[in-house]
Amino acid sequence: METEIERSFDPSESFLPHSASEILASDLLTCHGIESDVLTFIAENVHDTSRTLETGAGCSTLVFALRGCEHMAVTPSQSEISLITRYAVRNEICLGKVRFVPESSEKYLPRCEMDGLDLVLLDGKHAFPWPMLDWFYTADKLRKGGLMVIDDVQLRSVAILTEFMSVDPGWRLVENFSGKTHVFEKVRDSVHDVAWHMQPYNRAEATPPVAPIKKATLLRRLMGKVGR
């Protein structure tokens, strides 16, 4: 089912092939879990003194739990939380150090007080600009040397974020899992302490310039305004 919006939707609202959007529009249980190589990477890079946070929840939450992290999972889906909890109980996975926050990240993260994080996994809502929001509210809660794992980089709404990070001096790309998941190490104490002209992403040669508006188009627009 679709978890990014609370209302039901018609498959015609999605640009996905009808068969795929029909599944999303149904209430079928689906798992959009991250790949096993990424789960292995996370398992190998956290331990029982790690402080970790993810947007979204799923198999990844269980990996953080298994590794004994002090972990926070932010997801608005109470049914997901119940399913994960039930699975953990059945499989004797201790959730004692896991805190589920049953809220959307855009509402909760601005008041989140957990900091000094060792690893952040961004895998919540993927619609534009949620990846940027999640990044903004967690980037400086991550310690210098901590890891930011960003899933679904194949989506443009996520790619724009990792394009920025890959040229920014605050970050170093340390892993690229099949162009689908990128892992960055934070190499500065603060990445918020910056002005626009200090960000190489904003250099004209670093990104394609926004196409200048043609004279004729500009004229048409102005005429339209005058005519109204």
Contact pick of 45, 50, 52, 60 for ligand SAM (by CB under 6 A): 60
Does residue 3 bind ligand SAM (CB under 6 A)?
A: yes
Across 155-172, b (16+ Cβ under 10 Å) vs e yields eeebbbbbebbeebebbe
- x/- string (CB under 6 A) for ligand SAM, residues 69-108? -----xxxx--x-----------------------xxx--
What does the alpha-carbon distance between residue 171 and residue 184 come to, in Å, rounded to a whole number? 6
What does the alpha-carbon distance between residue 69 and residue 147 come to, in Å, rounded to a whole number? 14
Between 34 and 183, CB nearer to ligand SAM: 34
Contact between 95 and 68 (Cβ < 8 Å): no
Does residue 148 bind ligand SAM (CB under 6 A)?
A: no
Question: Strands 142-151, 181-186: parallel, antiparallel or unpaired by DSSP?
Answer: antiparallel
CB of 102 to ligand SAM, least distance (A): 10
Q: Which residue is nearest to ligand SAM (CB)?
A: 58
Does residue 53 bind ligand SAM (CB under 6 A)?
A: no
Does residue 58 bind ligand SAM (CB under 6 A)?
A: yes
Contact between 70 and 52 (Cβ < 8 Å): yes
Q: Which residues bind ligand SAM (CB under 6 A)?
A: 3-4, 32-34, 55-60, 74-77, 80, 104-106, 123-125
